[in-house]
Amino acid sequence: MNEAHTRPRVQTMLLGRATMNRESTHKVLLIIADISGYTKLMVSSDIEIKHSQHIISELIQTLIKEVEIPLEISKLEGDALFLYARKDSGLFHLDEIRRITGDKLIQFFEVFHDKLQELTSHTSCSCGACSNILALRLKVFAHSGDALFYKIHQFNELSGVDVILIHRLLKNSEATNEYLMLTEQAHMDIEFPCKLPVIEGCESYEHLGDIKTFIYNPYKHREH
């Protein structure tokens, strides 16, 4: 093969590897917004499956619209949204990051329930998915720590113990079906618009030990 033709391909391959191998560790706030009750919507008939997927997509889009810098989307994880805010980005003062994040966490619940009401009022369908829209709930998890960033083209992949920890929190002992769960680190690092009536808890995970939590239930009167 002609050397002149080979060189661009080799350079492209090397550039691609260099792009994939960029990595750095940053101080971050990690957030997962998880829609619960999703499995109940995914029932057997084709129409119900289509409608349930449409409902979840609408709710995820609603949450995405609330995301703004310093919060950034890492990825969609099925019926959940994985977010982060770099505390060391230099774009915002740490106090601003703490305040903006606290405001957004509360707004997530507000826009989520507004969207549920909108979806319910705009459908005349009586299928299982559409009949159970109001049964959906939102669980939000927040943790503060470190994350290793892998830059793959324009995408940020996050890894590390703290990334594992926040995902482990999705499986917990909390009995209610809608809440904001903060680790002790997140409770110290996030400033909310008002003092939240939180309940202290503790989760225990293999290799991670005991994790102290603070739980806020924004719609306690709705639980049954």
CATH number for the domain that contains residue 218: 3.30.70.1230
Query: Bigger pLDDT: 66 or 52?
Result: 66
207 lies in some domain: yes
18 lies in some domain: no
What are the phi and psi torsion angles at 142 (to 5°)?
-135, 140
- For residue 49, what pLDDT band results from cuts at 50, 70 and 90? confident
pLDDT (0 to 100) of residue 47: 81
Question: What mean pLDDT comes out for the span 91-118?
Answer: 96
pLDDT (0 to 100) of residue 6: 45
89 lies in some domain: yes
Considering the chain, what is the average pLDDT of its residues?
87
pLDDT (0 to 100) of residue 17: 41
Does the pLDDT of residue 13 top 50, yes or no?
Answer: no
pLDDT (0 to 100) of residue 39: 66
Neighbour count for residue 146 (Cβ, 10 Å)? 16
9 lies in some domain: no
Query: Bigger pLDDT: 8 or 139?
Result: 139
User: E-strand spans in the chain?
Assistant: 22-36, 71-77, 80-86, 137-152, 155-159, 179-183, 199-205, 209-216
Measured CA to CA in angstroms, residue 29 lies from 124, 129, 195 at distances of 41, 34, 19
Neighbouring C-alpha atoms within 13 Å toward the C-beta of 58: 19
What are the phi and psi torsion angles at 95 (to 5°)?
-60, -35
pLDDT (0 to 100) of residue 64: 96
7 lies in some domain: no
- For residue 208, what pLDDT band results from cuts at 50, 70 and 90? very high
User: What is the C-alpha separation between 56 and 50, in angstroms, rounded?
Assistant: 10
Tell me the torsion sign for CA atoms 145, 148, 151, 152.
Answer: negative
36 lies in some domain: yes
Does the pLDDT of residue 14 top 70, yes or no?
Answer: no
6 lies in some domain: no
Q: What are the tens digits of pLDDT across the range 164-187? A: 999 999 999 999 999 999 999 999
Does the pLDDT of residue 129 top 90, yes or no?
Answer: no
pLDDT (0 to 100) of residue 19: 42
8 lies in some domain: no
User: What is the C-alpha separation between 81 and 14, in angstroms, rounded?
Assistant: 33
Q: How many folded domains does the chain comprise?
A: 1
Q: pTM for the whole thing?
A: 0.85
Show Cβ contacts of residue 163 under 8 Å, excluding neighbours closer than 6 positions: 30, 147
Does the pLDDT of residue 72 top 60, yes or no?
Answer: yes
Structural domain including 77 reads: 24-222
